[in-house]
Structure 1
Amino acid sequence: MWRVKPLSAIELRHLRYFLAAAEYGSFRKASSALAVQESSVSRRIRDLEGHLGTSLFRRHNGGVALTPAGQGFLRETRTALEHLGDGVTGVSAIGKSESGNLRVGLFSSLASGFLSTLFRAFDADRAGVRIDFSDGHPSEHIAAVRMRHLDIAFITGTTEHARCETAHLWSEQVFAVLPASHPLAAQPSLVWRQLVGQTFITSEQSPNNEVHDVLIRRLSDLGQHPEVHRQHVGRDTLMSLVAIGLGLTLTSEAATSTSFDGVVYRPIAGETISFCGVWLPQNDNPALRRLLSMARARSVIDQPVRPPSAPITWQSLGGLSQIRDRSP
């Protein structure tokens, strides 16, 4: 391995001139190929030999030839420049978000809807970026974003979080999940009054904390505090509990693309739930910046324009004209 003193005195052009002279076997031909004066090539190579403390070329009437030391330095120089080229290419790809890593926290389904469309488009646009997904509770995701364990979290609500940037991106219809045998299953859509007196079961998993809150508010407004049983189970088990008649539950629109035996999905007219992205403003991950740009652009396409002063409400974006039958 070559030990060069002082290393800082050797410039990239020294190596370029050396490689050209070695390739052409002539300072004159090297200078012509590099579009510089022959004296510049000769002087830079002489400086390089001085820094290395050895001769790299034997001069003769027909040009120059590498010495044994020059042959060894040629191998090392080519290897060094290849590594430098790889580094430049790699950094450039990361800077263009064509490669790298992106850590994403989820509190919504990827089965369909906004996130499914977003990440399909992102993968097609930046296929070299590795994405690591994590399910979890919003409070856990926010803590992970602050600690830089996540680049971004997609969660319910529009609450601002200290030290973080928050952007409302999309809203989803709220659906009631009923046993297929339930009398209300025959209805194409529901209103809250039809759910008065029903027993509900909820889970702490996506995104039932938010829909639990709206459930309590809506039915309380109708004069009845609903009976809600919290279950420490995952979504699949919760759906099985609904199927065997232990209660109804609520879910968001993206989750309704997944079918479960014995249950049906019915939209609750005019009821939506908001979702946002949360990230650290100091996070300069190029892949994150590209994802945010695509998410904001898609949000403009997918969502109606809201005046800045208008609050985001659970009733917004709903409407019987937009309701579809969501039987599994």
Structure 2
Amino acid sequence: MRRSIQLLTLQYVLVVAEEGSFLAASTRLNMHHTALSRRVRDLELSLGVTLFDRHPGGVRPTAAGERFLANLRRVLTDLDGTLSMVGQNGRGETGHLSIGIDAPLPACGYVDAVVAFARDRPDVDVRFTEASRADLHSGLSSRTIDVVIAHGFDRRGATETLPLWRDRIVVAMAAEHPLAGRKKVELADLAQETTLINSQSMEFGTMCGIGTDAVPSSIVRHDVSRSSLLNLVRKGIGVTLLPESDVASLIEGVVSSVLTNKNRSVRLRYDAYWRSDSSNPVSGAFVALLRATYQQD
């Protein structure tokens, strides 16, 4: 029976109920009233129930008709919602988005873009994953991470990349350090300094404009958090390098100066990485926003 009943006929029934007559309903539907009356009568015969009492002034739903119409409205409302959800999914307007990062979130310059994306698409569940580069590569390969945003990240596991922005590098040092107070610190000035890094620190080889011969000779890696590393800097054990966007995270007693190489600011480039064969339409919508926000003509 369900296959023989057309959705259009069910919609006609609702219009008849709303208008209270076949004539008024046929005018609204732009069809002949006898054809409309015949469609409704055929439906009643298929269901084995009378939906409308006919009278000289028009029609009124029977008790069975009232129950049928109430259920029909609910079903059609659910159907509209389902179709709308499917359409939104196809346009990347609902669903989930997993963003992989390799540094603490406050240091990421694209946070505003993510916030704008989340506000424009409230049905999207946005999740951040801060992990090692090996885990980010694994996440891209397994499709548990949709987009990775990082610096110096190789394309293993990703097939597409988009340059986003360049962040100036600063030297963080104790307030009593001899270099403190300068607006700029030359890379050559770090030759005799101990530079502290951790698992989240940038690699010198990834910095734009710095060759291997310019890398400071004394680099000490500590398996500690960013805050612990800054505490070591505050104690005068060494200096460390940070993206300028992370300066707000400096603790009391630690100051910063812009790092330069031959009087030119040293900048770190951040890129977005994703799989072109991703089946998640939301990631495509997010990448489109990144292109519109960061891509230069």
User: TM-score, normalised to structure 1's length?
Assistant: 0.78
Structure 2 residue 222 is the aligned partner of structure 1 residue 227: no
Q: Which shifted more, 286-295 or 34-43?
A: 286-295
How far did 1:73 drift? 0.8
Q: Give the 3-state SS of the residue equivalent to 1:283 in structure 2.
A: coil
Match of 1:131 among 121, 126, 130: 126
Q: Tell me how many residue pairs correspond in the alignment.
A: 292
Structure 2 residue 81 is the aligned partner of structure 1 residue 86: yes
Q: Which residue of 1 aligns with 2:232?
A: 241
How far did 1:293 drift? 2.0
Q: Give the 3-state SS of the residue equivalent to 2:100 in structure 1.
A: strand
Q: In the TM superposition, what whole-angstrom CA distance separates every residue of 1:163-194 from its partner, at most 9, and x where no partner exists?
A: 53112222212222211111111322112211
How far did 1:112 drift? 6.3
Percent identical residues: 29
- The separation in 2 between residues aligned to 1:70 and 1:255, in whole angstroms, is 67
Q: Which residue identity is paired with 2:149?
A: F
How far did 1:124 drift? 4.8
Contact 1:113 1:253 in 2 (8 A): no
The list of structure 1 runs, each at least 4 consecutive aligned residues, that deviate by more than 6 angstroms after superposition, is none
Q: Give the 3-state SS of the residue equivalent to 1:183 in structure 2.
A: coil
Q: Which residue of 1 aligns with 2:290?
A: 295
- The separation in 1 between residues aligned to 2:141 and 2:38, in whole angstroms, is 55
- The separation in 1 between residues aligned to 2:62 and 2:118, in whole angstroms, is 52
- The separation in 2 between residues aligned to 1:219 and 1:300, in whole angstroms, is 27
Contact 2:158 2:273 in 1 (8 A): no
Aligned-CA RMSD value: 2.7
How far did 1:87 drift? 2.5
Counterpart mapping for 1:89-168 below 5 A: 89-108=84-103, 110-111=105-106, 114-157=109-152, 159-168=154-163
How far did 1:71 drift? 1.9
Contact 1:192 1:219 in 2 (8 A): no
Alignment CA distance shift 1:53-1:145 (3 Å): farther
Contact 2:138 2:157 in 1 (8 A): no
Structure 2 residue 27 is the aligned partner of structure 1 residue 36: no
- The separation in 2 between residues aligned to 1:291 and 1:178, in whole angstroms, is 37
How far did 1:276 drift? 0.8
How far did 1:214 drift? 5.0
Q: Which shifted more, 80-89 or 112-121?
A: 112-121
Match of 2:68 among 48, 55, 73: 73
Q: Which residue identity is paired with 2:83?
A: V
- The separation in 2 between residues aligned to 1:100 and 1:162, in whole angstroms, is 23
How far did 1:299 drift? 1.9
- The separation in 1 between residues aligned to 2:198 and 2:126, in whole angstroms, is 27
Q: Give the 3-state SS of the residue equivalent to 2:184 in structure 1.
A: coil
Contact 1:55 1:69 in 2 (8 A): yes
Match of 2:203 among 187, 207, 211: 211
Contact 1:196 1:219 in 2 (8 A): no
How far did 1:97 drift? 4.6
- The separation in 1 between residues aligned to 2:107 and 2:219, in whole angstroms, is 28
- The separation in 2 between residues aligned to 1:242 and 1:219, in whole angstroms, is 25
Contact 1:202 1:212 in 2 (8 A): no
Contact 2:101 2:130 in 1 (8 A): yes
Contact 2:190 2:216 in 1 (8 A): no
Q: Give the 3-state SS of the residue equivalent to 2:179 in structure 1.
A: helix
Q: Give the 3-state SS of the residue equivalent to 2:291 in structure 1.
A: helix
Contact 1:193 1:219 in 2 (8 A): no
Match of 1:256 among 247, 254, 262: 247
How far did 1:36 drift? 1.1
- The separation in 2 between residues aligned to 1:79 and 1:51, in whole angstroms, is 21
Structure 2 residue 21 is the aligned partner of structure 1 residue 26: yes
Segments of 5+ residues of structure 1 without an aligned counterpart are 1-5, 306-328
- The separation in 2 between residues aligned to 1:231 and 1:158, in whole angstroms, is 21
Contact 1:102 1:130 in 2 (8 A): yes
Q: Give the 3-state SS of the residue equivalent to 2:238 in structure 1.
A: coil
How far did 1:48 drift? 1.9
Alignment CA distance shift 1:234-1:47 (3 Å): farther
Q: Which residue identity is paired with 2:8?
A: R
Q: Which residue of 2 aligns with 1:271?
A: 266
Alignment CA distance shift 1:124-1:20 (3 Å): closer
